[in-house]
Amino acid sequence: MQANFDVIIIGGGHAGSEAAHASARLGLSTLLLTNNVDQIATMPCNPAVGGPGKSQLVKELDALGGIMGLAADATYLQMKTLNSSKGPATRSLRAQSDKKQYSRWVRQYLEAMSNLRIYQSAAKALIFDENKSNRIIGVETNLGEKIYALSIVLTAGTFLEGRIFTGHQFESAGRAGDKPSLGLSPQIRSLGLETGRLKTGTPARIDKKTIDFSGLEVAPGDEELSFFSFLPHRPIRRQYPCHITRTNANTHEVILANLEKSPMYSGAISASGPRYCPSIEDKVVKFPHNPSHHFFLEPEGLDTDEIYLQGCSTSLPIEVQWQIIRTLPGLEKAWITRPAYAVEYDYFPGIQFNHSFAAKELDGLFVAGQVLGTSGYEEAATQGLMAGINAAIKAYNLKTQLEKDDLSVNERFRKYCDEYQDFVLGRETSYIGTLVDDLVTKEISDPYRMMTSRSEYRLVLRQDNADQRLTLKGYELGLVDDYRWSIYLEKQERIEEEFRFIDQAKFAQDNIPTGMEIKGSNKITVHEMLKRPEFTYEDLAKVNFHTDLHEEDRYALEKKGILLEKILYPFELETYVKYQGYIDRQMVQIRDMQKRENIKIPVGFDFKNCSILSLEARDKLSKVRPLTIGQASRVGGISPSDISSILIMLEAKKKNTALQSGVSLHAQS
Ligand SMILES: Cc1cc2nc3c(=O)[nH]c(=O)nc-3n(C[C@H](O)[C@H](O)[C@H](O)COP(=O)(O)OP(=O)(O)OC[C@H]3O[C@@H](n4cnc5c(N)ncnc54)[C@H](O)[C@@H]3O)c2cc1C
């Protein structure tokens, strides 16, 4: 094949799919080069999207115009809002997905895009410019074809030099049943990027027919459905239950008796695994006082009998897996359809990349997903979106230097590129911004997974307001289309009207919900009522406020076309009313932080020779090369006194420059 593209995406997993979609949607000619077209957006581990911290990522991705939320909504087997009894910041949606349908949905969506070509082939090596060896200009495939592009996004997941382990048996593989990608990471290492090793694991799958569900606890989906996407599509599908089983003393005995057969414990795998998703042998060893750990039995799809055993990931040998599983209630006669295994692979430490995911030392290369040290579909997808956008900006800017203006790209995108060189989100705007910032400024020792506790602004970064935080940014960039934009504007207008409505509408004594007396006055506004902890958004959604309005207020609202019978956004109203004080305080905090956060550090600032910094700080800062004080303050091991030293140096530098320009002006006059 002799072809040139603007952008090439290597790898069609969750990161690669979002990257390809974003780049093509913005108008750049894009190639998705992937090992196996039948495995686009495959879920090699748990068949689920969302959950704490992760649902916020999916909603943000959707607000920016990404596809994961739409795919999860179209293919769920169960929808459930987790932490619904806790505060709004931790509330999160989780979809049990039909694995095959999910993958097929994403593939069909990408296939329908006019700027995107999908090609099944493996990238064997990157091609670099012979005159400028740090400039990447293309990809060579395993068939010897050379494909050129202006920017390249690498999203190879767990495939780079991948090895899978079941007990002491191991083989070279990207994941079970897939060939590894050999040679690519050694080549990139030889071009100057560092690599490390990480590992992750997946549990056994069980044949549904061999499980006795009769005594198991049922975990049903929600009766009232919620969705990931803000678009008003609401695919109604039958919901399927999950079940719960638990380990017991026999299970723990089997695990402890066989511990030395686990490659993690024998030292055969030395790479770190996901701290927050430990293997069952890790849980039993690290929490010896815990008599039981629960496992969820989750269906993998409608066209298969396979059940995923969530919580039971292990790399113990297969004969031990059989023993473990048959100690579990309901699984005494279970048949394993696929053994559990662990995978170890090369990754690129994030501090070698800018906030745009561009490699600092290799011009034209962007990296995203598991290969950048994360774990999870949602983390991969959001990085893919950001890397795809930034690769598109880079390609467009290069193109306009070479040719005249490229009229095929989206008008808003062209304007955006006239003004900005990249698309970066701050920590205060999103979990996506938090994820990117953590990855590129902190050294990680185990696969990074998103959790609500990673954000210092979690009361402001809720899943319910992701569209309010990000849709405008996506629209200005050109990724959010006119349809989504008009839906968003309608929703905002409606919320504003509903706010006005709850300020005006009053409850009379006789229609106050039972058990909620009004003291001192015989009328109370809905807003005041909502401040009470016992009156929740569910009550708000049920009460008919129509009758409680003054005639003229009702008339004014009806004239604006507002339906008074039902509040459409009770959760948004409740959150704002009940948590207003905290939210306002967090906004003040954000404004204070921004003042310092945005103080710029000049490109090429010489940290190495700053004698007032500690040796550790000099070393770390010259590796990360932060561009703002905010970024510097989050580099691992950097103390507040290091930050004060940098501020002093910046101030001195500013004075020096002013002095020098004063001297030269004086000399000229
Ligand atoms: C065994 C296992 C266990 C896991 N356990 C968990 C878990 O417990 N919790 C969790 O949240 N996540 C888990 N994951 C991780 C989850 O699957 C990933 O985080 C997610 O899929 C990463 O998405 P990605 O797009 O970065 O990579 P992947 O989804 O891995 O996609 C990579 C894609 O790149 C393609 N590719 C690779 N090399 C090349 C090449 N040279 N040329 C062309 N194409 C290439 C591959 O074929 C694949 O399509 C697990 C994954 C595995 C394999």
Q: 88-136: per-residue pLDDT in tens?
A: 778 899 999 999 999 999 999 999 999 999 999 999 999 999 888 799 9
Q: Confidence band (pLDDT; 50, 70, 90) for 358?
A: very high
The band of 665, judged by pLDDT with boundaries at 50, 70 and 90, is very low
From 295, 368, 382, 373, select the one nearest 46 (Cα to Cα): 295
Domain residue extents for the chain: 2-42+102-199+345-442, 482-592, 598-668
pLDDT score recorded for residue 521: 56
- Which pLDDT tens digit goes with each residue over 604-647? 888 888 888 877 788 888 888 898 888 888 887 787 778 878 88
Q: Tell me: pLDDT of 569 over 90.
A: no
pLDDT at 147: 97
273 vs 462, residue with greater confidence: 462
pLDDT at position 131 is: 87
Q: State residue 218's pLDDT score.
A: 96
Q: What is the pLDDT of residue 668?
A: 47
Percent of the chain with pLDDT over 70: 90
Q: How far is the CA of 375 from the centre of ligand 1 (A)?
A: 9
270 C-alpha vs ligand 1 centroid, how far in Å? Answer: 20
Amino acid at 118: I
**Which residue among 14, 33, 139, 140 is best mutated to probe the pocket of ligand 1, counting the most ligand atoms within 8 A of its Cβ?**
14
Atom of ligand 1 nearest to the CA of 15: 25
Task: State mean pLDDT over 154-179.
Answer: 94
Query: Which of 245-249, 520-524, 605-609 shows the lowest mean pLDDT across its residues?
Result: 520-524
Among 125-134, 320-329, 342-351, name the one with the lowest average pLDDT: 125-134
Predicted confidence band of residue 545 (pLDDT cuts 50, 70, 90)? low
* 198 has a pLDDT exceeding 90: yes
Which range has the worst mean pLDDT, 66-80, 253-267, 522-536? Answer: 522-536
> For position 85, what pLDDT does the model report?
75
Per-residue pLDDT for 369 more than 80?
yes
Which of 107, 155, 160, 182 is the pocket-test mutation for ligand 1 (most atoms within 8 Å of CB)? 155
Residue of minimum CA distance from atom 47 in ligand 1: 35
Ligand 1 atom closest to the CA of 11, numbered from 1: 34
- Indicate which atom in ligand 1 lies nearest the CA of residue 42: 29
Query: DSSP secondary structure string, 619-642?
Result: HHHHHH--SBHHHHHTSTT--HHH
pLDDT of residue 399: 87
Say how many residues make up the chain. Answer: 669
Q: Which of the given ranges, 15-29, 456-470, 618-632, has the highest pLDDT on average? A: 15-29
Q: What are the CA-CA distances from residue 223 to residues 236, 239, 662 (Å)?
A: 12, 9, 72
Q: What is the dihedral of CA 106, 112, 113, 119, to 10 degrees?
A: 70
Question: Which residues, including other chains, have CB under 8 Å from residue 83's CB and lie 6 or more apart?
Answer: 52, 90, 91, 92
More confident residue, 481 or 603: 481
Least confident among 339-348, 465-474, 547-556: 547-556
Confidence label for 530 from pLDDT (cuts 50, 70 and 90): confident
| Distance, CA of 231 to CA of 59 (rounded, Å) | 11
Q: In whole angstroms, what is the distance from residue 321 CA to residue 314 CA?
A: 8
Q: What percent of the chain has pLDDT over 90?
A: 59
pLDDT of residue 548: 56
Among the listed residues 176, 181, 140, the one whose alpha carbon sits nearest the alpha carbon of residue 160 = 181
Residue 296: which H helix or E strand, with range?
strand 294-299
Report residue 669's pLDDT band, with 50, 70 and 90 as the boundaries: very low
Q: What is the model's pLDDT at position 560?
A: 59
Rounded distance between C-alpha atoms, residue 617 and residue 606, angstroms? 12
CA distance 560 to 399: 48
As a whole number of angstroms, the distance between CA 475 and CA 464 comes to 19
Angstrom distance (rounded) from CA 484 to CA 466: 14
> Can you name the CATH fold of 2-42+102-199+345-442?
FAD/NAD(P)-binding domain (3.50.50)
Residue range 283-306: mean pLDDT, rounded: 93
Find the range with the poorest average confidence among 108-117, 242-251, 436-445: 436-445
The answer on pLDDT for 440 being more than 90 is yes
Phi, psi values for residue 533, rounded to 5°: -60, -30
Could you tell me the distance, in angstroms and rounded to a whole number, from the CA of residue 158 to the centre of ligand 1? 5
Task: Compute, in angstroms, the gap from residue 17 CA to the centroid of ligand 1.
Answer: 12
> Which range (329-343, 455-469, 547-561, 629-643) has the least confidence?
547-561
From 82-91, 343-352, 605-614, the region with the lowest mean pLDDT: 82-91
- Lowest-confidence segment of 12-26, 51-65, 615-629 by average pLDDT: 615-629
pTM, full prediction: 0.89
pLDDT interval class at 520 (50, 70, 90): low
Closest CA to 75 of 100, 54, 57: 100
Calculate how far, in angstroms, residue 42's C-alpha sits from the geometric centre of ligand 1.
Answer: 8
Q: Which of 247-261, 347-361, 427-441, 606-620 has the lowest mean pLDDT?
A: 606-620
Q: Which residues line ligand 1 (CB under 6 A)?
A: 10-16, 33-36, 39, 44-45, 122-123, 155-159, 174-175, 181, 184, 200-202, 277, 313, 343, 369-370, 375-377, 380
598-668: in CATH 1.10.150.570: yes
**pLDDT value at 10 more than 90:** yes
Atom 38 of ligand 1, nearest CA residue: 156
Instruction: Report the DSSP pairing between strands 2-10 and 30-34.
Output: parallel
Q: pLDDT averaged over the chain?
A: 88
pLDDT value for 164: 94
Query: What is residue 13's predicted lDDT score, i.e. its pLDDT?
Result: 98
For residue 564, which of 505, 503, 513 has the smallest C-alpha distance? Answer: 505
Q: What region, left, alpha or beta, does residue 199 occupy, with left being phi > 0 and alpha being psi -120 to 50 degrees?
A: beta
Q: pLDDT at position 638, please?
A: 80
| pLDDT of residue 33 exceeding 90 | yes
C-alpha triplet 349, 350, 353: angle, nearest 5°: 125
According to DSSP, residue 453 is labeled: G
Tally of CB atoms within 10 A around 584: 10
The more confident residue out of 283 and 517 is 283
Highest mean pLDDT among 166-170, 514-518, 585-589: 166-170
**81 confidence band (pLDDT: 50, 70, 90):** very high
Q: Identify whether the C-beta of residue 279 lies closer than 8 Å to the C-beta of residue 313.
A: yes
Give distance in angstroms: CA of 157 to centre of ligand 1.
4
Q: What tokens appear for 101 in the block?
A: 């349908």
Average pLDDT over residues 140-151: 96
CA 370 to ligand 1 centroid distance, Å: 6
pLDDT at 636: 77
Determine the average pLDDT of the residues in 14-18.
Answer: 98
Q: pLDDT confidence of 513, banded at 50, 70, 90? A: low
454 is written with which tokens?
A: 């990673």
Q: What's the burial of 566, exposed, middle or buried (CB within 10 Å: 0-12/13-18/19+)?
A: middle
Q: Among 9, 10, 35, 164, which residue has the most ligand 1 atoms within 8 Å of its CB, making it the best to mutate?
A: 35
Ligand 1 centre to CA of 245 (Å) is 28
SS3 content of the chain, % helix, strand, coil (to 5): 40, 20, 40
* Dihedral angle over CA of 596, 599, 603, 606, nearest 10: -60
Greatest mean pLDDT among 442-451, 516-525, 588-597: 442-451
- Does residue 564 carry a pLDDT above 70? no
Question: Among the ranges 357-361, 493-497, 636-640, 661-665, which has the highest mean pLDDT value?
Answer: 357-361
Write phi, then psi, for 72 (nearest 5 degrees): -65, -40
Q: Which atom of ligand 1 is found nearest the CA of 12?
A: 49
Mutate-to-test residue for ligand 1 from 68, 158, 435, highest number of ligand atoms within 8 A of CB: 158
Question: Does the structural domain 482-592 have CATH classification 1.10.760.10?
Answer: no
pLDDT of 554 above 80:
no
Residues 427-455: what's their mean pLDDT? 91
The 3-state DSSP class for residue 103 equals: helix
Lowest mean pLDDT among 247-261, 344-358, 551-565: 551-565
